């Protein structure tokens, strides 16, 4: 079982000719309202990749709550540990340009009321995977990590968006997933001399976490751990929207990890899942089905 402790959003997505700069207004023709949030995106990606998934988080008592939960419910994700809060369901405001690049503002709302106590009530077992991001209160994340380690579960932390992590917490993490920006920011927080993202990944795996994965966008993925380092290329696709690519990678990777597959196979499934998600507009609407992932894996990396 994969248990995702994290965020649930309603995403308002607008396609624009160019992303705005400071003080600039740009006009888009329309917008869509779709489910999102890094936690929910990763939970749905893992479920569509074939894993059994439980979501632990919070929504408000408002119309956006059903939007945030709809795809997870349809995909059979266990929602028993979702709490209804007095605050508003979180919303993300996303602009997407013709190259598929995006600009995102998140109003956290009920995500800030998510508590590790919800996870304790849901339960974890030895061999489970606990998947975390950084869109709920950080102290609740660290309490969740401690509980997972007591239960004998594996901990996967996606440090997104970037934020400070105590060194003692990092040393309890089995797999840390960062992009280039997040790697550099974490290096600065920890006082590391390394600044190149790949050097940071190697140093983190040597001194802090069991395994560190650095996602490199179009350059693929670099992975570091006790079994050595690996570089895998990105999947070649026509990019429409990169909004959920990172979350898709994490969910696809976690599904393979929970299934007990070799690290290189987990990385490949993550890369393929993330690449396929770039072909469509939106977050959860872009996440590929298990059949699509299997077909793409059959020809990856050729």
Annotated active-site positions, please? 247
Tell me which residue has tokens 């895998």.
232
Distances (CA, A) of 32 to 82, 97, 167, 175, 242: 24, 15, 40, 34, 16
Distances (CA, A) of 19 to 9, 10, 141, 286: 22, 20, 32, 21
Sign of CA pseudo-dihedral 181, 88, 278, 24: negative
């Amino acid at each position: 079982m994969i248990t995702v402790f994290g965020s649930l959003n309603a995403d308002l997505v607008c396609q624009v000719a160019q992303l705005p700069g400071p003080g600039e207004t740009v006009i888009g023709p329309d917008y869509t309202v779709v489910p999102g949030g890094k936690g929910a995106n990763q939970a749905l990606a893992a479920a569509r990749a074939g894993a059994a998934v439980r979501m632990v988080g919070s929504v408000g008592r408002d119309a956006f709550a059903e939007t945030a939960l709809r795809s997870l419910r349809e995909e059979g994700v266990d929602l028993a540990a979702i709490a209804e809060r007095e605050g508003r369901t979180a919303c993300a405001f996303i602009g997407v340009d013709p190259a598929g690049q995006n600009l995102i503002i998140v109003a956290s709302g009920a995500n800030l009321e998510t508590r590790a106590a919800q996870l304790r009530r849901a339960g974890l077992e030895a061999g489970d995977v606990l998947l975390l991001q950084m869109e709920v209160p950080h102290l609740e994340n660290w309490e969740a990590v401690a509980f997972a380690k007591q239960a004998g579960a594996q901990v996967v932390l996606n440090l997104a968006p970037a934020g400070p992590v105590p060194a003692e917490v990092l040393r309890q993490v089995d797999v840390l997933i960062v992009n280039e920006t997040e790697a550099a920011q974490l290096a600065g927080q920890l006082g590391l001399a390394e600044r190149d993202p790949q050097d940071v990944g190697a140093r983190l795996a040597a001194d802090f976490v069991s395994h560190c994965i650095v996602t490199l966008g179009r350059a693929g993925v670099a992975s570091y751990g006790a079994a050595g380092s690996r570089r895998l290329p990105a999947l070649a696709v026509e990019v429409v929207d990169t909004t959920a690519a990172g979350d898709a990678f994490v969910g696809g990777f976690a599904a393979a990890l929970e299934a007990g597959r070799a690290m290189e196979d987990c990385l490949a499934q993550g890369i393929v899942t993330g690449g396929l998600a770039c072909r469509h507009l939106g977050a959860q609407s872009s996440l590929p089905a298990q059949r699509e992932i299997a077909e793409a894996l059959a020809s990856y990396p050729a």
